[in-house]
Amino acid sequence: MKISGGCHCGAITYKADVEPERTAICHCTDCQKLTGTAFRVTVQVPEENIAFSGMPKIYVKVGDSGNKRAQGFCGECGSHLFATSVGDGPKVYGLRTGTSDQRDQLVPRKQVWHRSALHWLPEFEGMATAEKAS
């Protein structure tokens, strides 16, 4: 499925080809902090299937596991666009679906890090659930 999107101010745009069934929710505390809200919704995109226009700023976060993740965002408006691995090797982008013009068609199929989900959220019916990473 072809999608398009970008940050709020328009400095960064992208076009991508995604599999909508690879959309997921992450309830981890890093995602809560980095988004400023309850959870994050992401679709996984191999790097060959996405093209950016504009230059995202990168913030590298270190997880509890010691793994580094590059967080791409717009330096002008602060919109979060993606996370990906750090260093060489083929990359997969976890694209933030809220930045996509087709966000309504990217329906999460699973949720991970459910153990840190905020208690006031409703249960999502029919969604594969992992208490930690998938």
Q: For binding to Zn ion (CB under 5 A), which residues are involved?
A: 7, 9, 11, 26, 28, 31, 74, 76-77
Q: How far is the CB of 84 from Zn ion (least distance, A)?
A: 13
Identity of the residue, 28 or 95, whose beta carbon is nearer to Zn ion in the bound complex: 28
Q: How far is the CB of 130 from Zn ion (least distance, A)?
A: 12
Hey, what long-range contacts does 100-104 have (CB within 8 A, 24 or more apart)? 100/3, 100/4, 100/5, 100/43, 101/3, 101/4, 101/5, 102/1, 102/3, 102/4, 102/5, 103/5
Identity of the residue, 1 or 133, whose beta carbon is nearer to Zn ion in the bound complex: 133
Q: How far is the CB of 76 from Zn ion (least distance, A)?
A: 4
Identity of the residue, 5 or 18, whose beta carbon is nearer to Zn ion in the bound complex: 5
